[in-house]
Amino acid sequence: MAPVAECDQLPIKPQISGGVHSSISALSGTSRSSKGTRPSKRHLRKGEESKQRLHGTPSRTKDKDWEPHCRPYHPMSPYTQMSGYVGTMTGVEETGLSALKGEIRRTGLQLDIAKHPLVAEDSFLLRFLRARKFNALQAYEMIRSDIEWREKEEVAQLRFQKPSDILGCDPSIVTQYLPHWQSGFDKVGRPVIYKHFGATQTWSLKEHMTLENLVKFYWWEQEQAANLLVRRSLETGYECDTFTVIVDLEGLGIRQITKDFLWLVKAISEYDSNHNPERMGQTFMINCGPSFGFIWSGIKPWLDVGTQAKIQILATRKQWLPVLLEQIDTDQLPQEYGGTGPCLSTVDHDAEEQFDHLCFCLKHVEGYLREEGEEDADTKSSESSKSSRSASRSFPDQGAQPPLVKTISF
């Protein structure tokens, strides 16, 4: 699963940062106190219109054709050496992108239903093209189907529901019986997701919620994850559109592989494949026990060949620790996994507070979008003026950030 997009931030170093909410606060020129005060109901009411515009229709700017710019990937990112990405496309791939954009313009397909307003159109389209091997018509159908699904399932409205309303119970129960967190970032700036499947108890989850509602909650988490990736791109200046995932299988046995468990894994895999393509940067499956081979043989057919190629299976600590340290700096790796970062056991379980703060901050994100559009439309402004405006939008000095180190449950 993916992260809730609100939490406190680690002190930022080059390509390294902490949680989520402080970046949006930084975007607005505000920051929460170290006590983590909640936004008032008045602030939430004032932000309702902004929330709907942010993820429903394009923001109003001077230049209605304004489009966010593509960013380069981190110099150490593998995507700088792989074709099919911004800046590395082959001639055939560029032709496929042009064909897809032409079909979208011809049919009038509204990408705003699925595309985050701060993500460049080319970056968005390339994810679907890579998922369909740059077959423009297949990529178009995939996007069209995703948009239809989002409208049918009212995903734009789901995005702003409280987690407890989606689940019908306290969201901390999900963390208890299906533990997963986002904590820290890898060496190229990607958020790192931790999933402890070895502690999964689907029978206990069903005592508090339906599996269908749990899947909807996963959709909600993915929408918040999209905000996290955009925030990372704004914060670092590099394109950030994928996650690093660590799946801990310690304790996973045949007893846990129930019909409900397999149904849940399949439902999540289908969602990721059809509606959230090319989000997995790399996945490490660690602490694989004797029963893993049997379990993997049942799950592997649900994954396409490209996804399978991104997964490394590392059974023992002796195998996985040097691999993780090669990808993640020590201070970004939790202590449970050999680093010096925050323990996952110190996670903030207050998903409701994270949600409230997200709603409050979205209006400031929209303000950033509107300011970007106005600046982009002002083509006659001087370079010095542009520098001045850019400085006024930059994030606060790191010393002004709240001195908190938190991971987040999602």
One-letter amino acid for residue 399 of the chain = G
Q: Other C-beta atoms within 10 Å of 170: how many?
A: 16
Considering only CA atoms, which of 45, 50, 49, 48 is closest in space to residue 27? 50
What local confidence, expressed as pLDDT, does residue 71 receive?
93
Considering only CA atoms, which of 191, 275, 193, 195 is closest in space to residue 241? 191
Encoding tokens for residue 34?
Answer: 């170290």
Alpha carbon distance 410, 183 (integer Å): 11
Encoding tokens for residue 261?
Answer: 């468990």
CATH number of the domain at 163-346, out of 3.40.525.10, 3.40.980.10, 2.40.50.140, 3.20.20.70?
3.40.525.10
List Cα–Cα distances, 266 to 137, 174, 261, in angstroms. 26, 18, 9
Considering only CA atoms, which of 403, 404, 402, 2 is closest in space to residue 182? 2
Alpha carbon distance 170, 164 (integer Å): 5
Encoding tokens for residue 118?
Answer: 């701060």
Encoding tokens for residue 174?
Answer: 């999900």
| CB-based contact 110:151 (threshold 8 Å) | no
List Cα–Cα distances, 318 to 315, 321, 323, in angstroms. 9, 6, 9
* Strand order across the beta sheet in which 243-248 lies: 311-314, 280-286, 243-248, 191-196, 180-185, 408-409
User: Alpha-carbon Rg of the chain, whole angstroms?
Assistant: 21
What local confidence, expressed as pLDDT, does residue 22 receive?
34
Tell me the β-bridge partners of 339: none
Alpha helices in 237-380 (DSSP H): 259-275, 292-299, 305-309, 317-327, 351-377
Alpha carbon distance 327, 180 (integer Å): 20
Alpha carbon distance 45, 258 (integer Å): 44
Q: If one looks up domain 36-158+352-378 in CATH, what number appears?
A: 1.10.8.20
Q: Is 311 exposed, middle or buried (0-12, 13-18, 19+ CB in 10 A)?
A: middle
Name every residue whose Cβ is closer than 8 Å to that of residue 73 and which is 6 or more positions away in sequence. Answer: 79, 80, 85, 86, 87, 188, 238, 239
Encoding tokens for residue 153?
Answer: 């399932």
Encoding tokens for residue 259?
Answer: 């019909």
Output the tens digit of pLDDT for each of the chain's 410 residues.
444 333 333 333 333 333 333 333 333 333 333 333 343 443 334 334 434 433 443 343 344 455 688 999 999 999 999 999 999 999 999 999 999 999 999 999 999 999 999 999 999 999 999 999 999 999 999 999 999 999 999 999 998 899 999 999 999 999 899 999 999 999 999 999 999 988 899 999 999 999 999 999 999 999 999 999 999 999 999 999 999 999 999 988 888 889 999 899 899 989 999 999 999 999 999 998 877 877 788 778 877 787 888 999 999 999 999 999 999 999 999 999 999 999 998 765 555 555 554 554 454 455 555 555 455 445 444 444 443 333 333 333 333 332 223 334 33
Buried b (16+ CB within 10 A) or exposed e, 80-98: eeeebbbeebeeebeebbe
Task: Provide the terminal-to-terminal Cα distance of the chain, rounded to the nearest Å.
Answer: 7
Alpha carbon distance 314, 319 (integer Å): 6
| CB-based contact 85:253 (threshold 8 Å) | no
Q: Which residue ranges make up each domain of the chain?
A: 36-158+352-378, 163-346
| Three-point CA angle 95, 98, 100, nearest 5° | 110
The bridge status of strand 180-185 relative to strand 191-196 is antiparallel
